[in-house]
Amino acid sequence: MSTTVAEPTTGVSESGPLRSKQDTISRAEGWRRRGPLLPALVFTIVVTQIPFAVTLFYSTQSWNLVRPGSRSFIGLDNYVAVFQDSQFREVALNTVLLIVGTVLISVVLGLLFALLLDRAFPGRGVVRTLLITPFLVTPVAAALLWKTSMLSPTNGFLQWILGWFGIDGVDVLSSYPLAAVMAELVWQWTPFMMLLILAGLQSMPRDILEAARVDGATSFRLFRELTLPHLRRFIELGAVLGAIYLVNTFDPVYMMTSGGPGVASANLPFYIYQRAFLGFDIGQAAAMGVVTVVATIIVSTLALRLIFKTFTGNEEAA
């Protein structure tokens, strides 16, 4: 009940039979219907599309703020430079690793947490509240917390725990910077996956599970053959949505490692930020932005398809 139910998308069917009959009236009616939508539409187009169009334009310019007056049109040269930049390739790879790693680990952990929460036990509400909190903590505060209290090489918690095993003096932030950032991201994003998967679990038809259990199916078989297939859509949606939110990861990189050492833990948003606001290379930074968008379109298409399927799937069935 509580989940996924796609609404019959009321009257999305384009024009309908009325259209030919009373064209003038339906036109007035059309504007009356459109009225409430227009402010939001115009606002969104102006604020989100214009900057992006300008980015496209900038990406064709040789424009460095350090050299005023040097601005000129150079066609696709910025893109050539971007693809020849070995640092950019490393950063692009980091971005992918960060997203894929974070999504995979937080899906697995989220699934585990959701399964643990999907049964009645004392204090369930409190446990759920505790588990979602990392997602709510201001990302900057979370990143600082991990950088200092958790991972500091001198007096962080991890250091203390490693000390029990006789391991000393590991500076995770400089030796494994990408893993450190990923750990922080996993901590923040596991609750998101958990909530999505929990919604999936709670939408499972209980009677089918009961029937299968009475038929003597083991818990493991139940999980593999009924629960997991049912959860698949939720996990997929969680993964693509997580990926889309994570493409924008900036705060933990900026706070914890500043992308370093070198560009070892820089991702695209951080690298572009560095190029634009510290290197003042507007043209190249813009070209990198465009490349990032093109790359995310693939993920976005998948995400959109899944989201729309969730809305329209039941409509087809009905």
Partner 1 sequence: MTAQMSAAKRSPESAETTRRPGRRTGAALTTLTWVIAVGFFFPVLWMVLTAFKQEKDAATETPTFFFSPTLDQFRAVLDSGVGTALLNSLFATVVSTALVLALGVPAAFALSLRPVRKTKDALFFFISTKMLPVVAAIIPLYVIVGRIGMLDNVLTLVVLYTAMNLPIAIWMMRSFFLEVPGELLEAASMDGASLWTSVREVILPLVSPGIAATALICVIFSWNEFFLAVNMTAVEARTVPVALVGFMSGQGLFWAKLSAASVMAALPVVICGWIAQNKLVRGLSFGAIK
Which member of 90, 170, 273, 314 binds partner 1 (CB under 8 A)? 273
Is position 43 an interface residue for partner 1 (rule: CB under 8 A)?
A: yes
Is position 168 an interface residue for partner 1 (rule: CB under 8 A)?
A: no
**Between residues 62 and 251, which has the closer beta carbon with respect to partner 1?**
251
Instruction: Give the footprint of partner 1 on residues 70-129 (CB under 8 A).
Output: 113, 116-117, 119, 121-123, 127-129
Burial of 268 (0-12, 13-18, 19+ CB in 10 A): buried
Taking the C-alpha atoms of residue 231 and residue 203, their distance in angstroms, rounded to an integer, is 9
Q: Of 33-41, 75-83, 86-94, 98-106, which segment contacts partner 1 by CB under 8 A?
A: 33-41
Cα 80–Cα 83–Cα 86 angle in degrees, nearest 5: 130
Q: How far is CA 193 from CA 52, 104, 107, 261, in A?
A: 30, 10, 6, 30
Taking the C-alpha atoms of residue 246 and residue 305, their distance in angstroms, rounded to an integer, is 19
In whole angstroms, how close is the CB of 80 to partner 1 at the nearest point? 19
The contact mask relative to partner 1 for 45-74 (x = CB under 8 A, - = no) is: --xxxxxx-xx--x----------------
Taking the C-alpha atoms of residue 78 and residue 29, their distance in angstroms, rounded to an integer, is 49
Instruction: Give the footprint of partner 1 on residues 178-207 (CB under 8 A).
Output: 187, 190, 192, 195-196, 198-200
Which member of 22, 70, 133, 175 binds partner 1 (CB under 8 A)? 133
Instruction: Give the footprint of partner 1 on residues 203-232 (CB under 8 A).
Output: 214-216
Helix, strand or coil, per DSSP, at residue 156: coil
Q: Going by C-beta distance under 8 Å and a sequence separation of 6 or more, which residues neighbour residue 270? A: 91, 250, 253, 254, 259
Helix, strand or coil, per DSSP, at residue 69: coil
Is position 4 an interface residue for partner 1 (rule: CB under 8 A)?
A: yes
Q: Which tokens go with 79?
A: 């893109």
Contact 71, 82 (CB under 8 A): no
Q: Of 69-77, 100-108, 170-178, 308-316, which segment contacts partner 1 by CB under 8 A?
A: 308-316
**Between residues 199 and 204, which has the closer beta carbon with respect to partner 1?**
199
Q: Of 27-35, 79-87, 98-106, 170-178, which segment contacts partner 1 by CB under 8 A?
A: 27-35
Q: Of 70-78, 170-178, 258-266, 293-301, which segment contacts partner 1 by CB under 8 A?
A: 293-301
Taking the C-alpha atoms of residue 246 and residue 240, their distance in angstroms, rounded to an integer, is 10
Burial of 36 (0-12, 13-18, 19+ CB in 10 A): exposed
Q: Of 81-89, 98-106, 204-212, 242-250, which segment contacts partner 1 by CB under 8 A?
A: 242-250
**Between residues 72 and 129, which has the closer beta carbon with respect to partner 1?**
129
Is position 318 an interface residue for partner 1 (rule: CB under 8 A)?
A: no
Which member of 79, 96, 135, 212 binds partner 1 (CB under 8 A)? 135
Which member of 90, 139, 217, 314 binds partner 1 (CB under 8 A)? 139
Instruction: Give the burial string for 154-183 (b: 16+ CB within 10 Å, else e).
Output: eebebbeeeeeeeeeeeebbeebbbebbbb
Q: How many CB atoms lie within 10 A of CB 318?
A: 7
**Between residues 264 and 313, which has the closer beta carbon with respect to partner 1?**
313
